[in-house]
Amino acid sequence: MKEDIKKVLVLGSGALKIGEAGEFDYSGSQALKAIKEEGIKTVLINPNIATVQTSEGVADTVYFLPVTPFFVEKVIEKERPEGILLAFGGQTALNCGVALYQNGVLDKYNVRVLGTPVQAIMDTEDRELFVRKLDEINIKTIKSEAVENISDARRAAAELGYPVIIRAAYALGGLGSGFCDNEEELNTLAEKAFSFSPQVLVEKSLKGWKEVEYEVVRDRFDNCITVCNMENFDPLGIHTGESIVIAPSQTLTNAEYHKLRELAIRIIRHIGIVGECNVQYAFDPESEDYRVIEVNARLSRSSALASKATGYPLAFVAAKLGLGYGLFDLKNSVTKTTSAFFEPALDYVVCKIPRWDLGKFHGVAREIGSSMKSVGEVMAIGRTFEEAIQKGLRMIGQGMHGFVENKELVIQDIDKALNEPTDRRIFVISKAFRAGYTIDQIYALTKIDKWFLQKLHNIIVTTEKLESYRAIADIPDALFRKAKAEGFSDFQIARAIFKSDTKDIEKASLSVRQERKRRGIYPVVKQIDTLAAEYPAQTNYLYLTYSGTEHDVHYLGDKRSIVVLGSGAYRIGSSVEFDWCGVQALNTIRKEGWR
């Protein structure tokens, strides 16, 4: 198949926007790398100048043009590629590709869509086709109706019964979506949704169910693997991009995990995906009942997370599969030894936490819901959930010191704050525990799985134990080690003991560090190896943990290494530009023969 392809066109995602940021620069760059390896010429369309994929040496030809049917047709006419990739530029590229297919442009210039066929993309993007397609194999979807005007929306909502959720079709990051409890709210929301899209979906609300996601890979020979599954800390009703996400899932039983995995594979075989896609479920924790929320027939933001969380290079593999390879033909480029036809196994927990910048806007609502507002995200890795979440909260770069509440956060009404989530929800939970709320009470207000609440409660219990000591030397060894394994920083331990917010806390945290070292409590460097250490791996993804006994990497100490500092989570004013700077710096350092 790849023999008759000399040139491939890749569509980027255009300007960075909420819901479509550095993740698609990542997937596009990987795809270009995979195709280039085959000796095929690459043409990229992406107007964003600050990305890695538009840098010298990544694509053979770059067009800084809008990713719209008009401009893409002009490039096709000039470049005459044999193939086009639609799945690596987010929703923007996907919508553009579907339009080119429907307008007959792809046929006219004889351009083949590599990877998932366009019909399969339309089957996942158009709600009516999607429901019909999954009905054929008896898979449950959320009861919904696609409507084209407000009066139909009112009728559909009345038939389904309130509460309902409104979503705009073909929209990005949950744009124009929200929950309605009555007709008045429906009118306001539907009007907004119709301003984004001609088709609007009215569907039954399953608020409070769990949200679980599977990343699945399939080749053209019908071989499938699930690379990773993830679970949202928040229940359904909060957009997955606004939610803390844990991979692999922690609260599913073995039977539940395998049931959803088997369904995901059945779905993507039936739809005919080639490459990578993700399946999102709503899952009722009480009854094992489920609904498929959506299938993304492209790399999504979660795919970038799954690639980093497992060390399985999803975008790279998906591009190769698009060229016609089978999974059994490819090596996992991370382990260099095993085949890509191999499901990763994880012996660690990964936690993704969004970063909001809502403080920069006047009059913006702090509530979070089905429409995305977060501008960036961080990923923390640990051996326990407690360790990963505490690390993650410190990494966001908003002055947080782990889970135990920050002093500035003043909450008048904890019940209300738990029931109507905002960007500070996780710290509200901390305040609630400190105010004496039980796990059951918080669960009733938030519907966050009790497993997560129990783990967060463990952090509070450890904090309270630390607070009962007056001096660092008095802390028992077991408690000291436990606190470090639960992700407490030396600063947090110092603050628990000295309880002051004065400048002396810095001095105090240095003395905690000295005491910790005196007792021989050190972290170890572990490696994400995708195979839970069953096979040797040469991955570059490392993490520190206090729940381990030996290092996975050998320290050379030959004074030939250079450290480059990145910019942390994306925020308004600091995003992919600094990724570009970091990548250029690293490439130069490597060229000069340094590590």
Q: What is the mean pLDDT of the chain?
A: 90
Q: Residue 419 falls within a domain, yes or no? A: no
Among 170, 204, 238, the domain boundary falls at: 204
Question: What's the average model confidence in pLDDT over 227-249?
Answer: 92
At 411 the pLDDT is 82
* pLDDT > 70 in the chain, percent: 96
Q: Which structural domain range is residue 200 located in?
A: 143-204
Contacts of 590 (CB under 8 A, 6+ apart): none
At 533 the pLDDT is 53
Residue 20 one-letter amino acid: E
Checking if the pLDDT of 132 tops 80, the result is yes
pLDDT band of 468, cuts 50, 70, 90: very high
Listed range (34-38, 179-183, 445-449) with the worst mean pLDDT: 179-183
Number of Cβ within a 10 Å radius of residue 15: 16
At 301 the pLDDT is 87
Can you give the CATH number for the domain in which 71 is found? 3.40.50.20
Give the C-alpha separation, 241 to 172, whole Å. Answer: 11
149 shares a domain with 90: no
Give the C-alpha separation, 454 to 207, whole Å. Answer: 21
Dihedral pair phi/psi, residue 275, rounded to 5°: 115, -130
Among 77, 94, 114, the domain boundary falls at: 114
- Burial of 290 per CB tally in 10 Å (0-12, 13-18, 19+): buried
Q: Residue 270 falls within a domain, yes or no? A: no
- Token digits of residue 46: 């992406």
Q: Residue 474 falls within a domain, yes or no? A: no
327-363 tens-digit pLDDT: 999 987 666 777 888 888 888 999 999 999 888 888 8
Can you give the CATH number for the domain in which 155 is found? 3.30.1490.20
Q: Residue 261 falls within a domain, yes or no? A: no
The CA–CA distances, whole Å, from 248 to 264, 305, 457, 510 equal 16, 11, 21, 35
Number of Cβ within a 10 Å radius of residue 184: 9
148 shares a domain with 80: no
Nearest CA to 168 out of 206, 131, 126, 122 is that of 126
Give the C-alpha separation, 444 to 457, whole Å. Answer: 16
Question: What's the average model confidence in pLDDT over 196-209?
Answer: 86
110 shares a domain with 10: yes
Checking if the pLDDT of 464 tops 90, the result is yes
| Alpha helices, H only, 52-117 | 69-79, 90-102, 105-108
Q: Residue 584 falls within a domain, yes or no? A: yes
- The answer to whether 402 touches 417, Cβ cutoff 8 Å, is no
At 220 the pLDDT is 94
Q: Residue 15 falls within a domain, yes or no? A: yes
12 shares a domain with 73: yes
Checking if the pLDDT of 196 tops 90, the result is no
At 442 the pLDDT is 97
Give the C-alpha separation, 43 to 23, whole Å. Answer: 20
For tokens 């947090």, name the residue: 492
Sign of CA dihedral 430, 433, 435, 438: positive
| β partners of residue 136 | none
Nearest CA to 374 out of 26, 51, 20 is that of 20
Q: Residue 50 falls within a domain, yes or no? A: yes
Give the C-alpha separation, 473 to 504, whole Å. Answer: 17
Contacts of 291 (CB under 8 A, 6+ apart): 140, 141, 142, 206, 209, 281, 282
Residue 11 one-letter amino acid: L
11 shares a domain with 58: yes
Q: Residue 160 falls within a domain, yes or no? A: yes
- How large is the C-alpha radius of gyration of the chain? 25
103 shares a domain with 66: yes
173 shares a domain with 102: no
At 64 the pLDDT is 97
At 410 the pLDDT is 81
For the chain, the residue count is 595
109 shares a domain with 188: no
Q: What is the DSSP string of 112-168?
A: EEPSS-HHHHHHHHSHHHHHHHHHTTT--B--EEEESSHHHHHHHHHHH-SSEEEEE
Dihedral pair phi/psi, residue 250, rounded to 5°: -110, -25
Give the C-alpha separation, 23 to 306, whole Å. Answer: 11
Number of Cβ within a 10 Å radius of residue 174: 22
Give the C-alpha separation, 581 to 564, whole Å. Answer: 10
DSSP 8-class letter at 251: S
- The answer to whether 34 touches 316, Cβ cutoff 8 Å, is yes
10 shares a domain with 101: yes
Give the C-alpha separation, 144 to 444, whole Å. Answer: 27
- Token digits of residue 163: 């509460």
The pTM assigned to this predicted structure is 0.90
134-150 tens-digit pLDDT: 999 999 998 888 898 98
- Token digits of residue 286: 């009480």
Contacts of 379 (CB under 8 A, 6+ apart): 305, 308, 309, 350, 351, 352, 392
- If DSSP codes are grouped into helix, strand and coil, which group holds residue 408? coil
| β partners of residue 213 | 230, 280
Question: What's the average model confidence in pLDDT over 289-316?
Answer: 91
At 1 the pLDDT is 61
Question: What's the average model confidence in pLDDT over 233-262?
Answer: 93
Among 175, 204, 233, the domain boundary falls at: 204
pLDDT band of 19, cuts 50, 70, 90: confident
177 shares a domain with 108: no
- Token digits of residue 177: 């979506």
Checking if the pLDDT of 394 tops 90, the result is yes
Dihedral pair phi/psi, residue 254, rounded to 5°: -60, -40
- If DSSP codes are grouped into helix, strand and coil, which group holds residue 380? strand
- If DSSP codes are grouped into helix, strand and coil, which group holds residue 367? strand
510-556 tens-digit pLDDT: 999 999 999 999 999 998 876 655 555 567 789 999 999 999 888 88
- Burial of 270 per CB tally in 10 Å (0-12, 13-18, 19+): middle
As for how many domains the chain has, the answer is 3
Contacts of 132 (CB under 8 A, 6+ apart): none
At 544 the pLDDT is 95
Give the C-alpha separation, 492 to 513, whole Å. Answer: 11
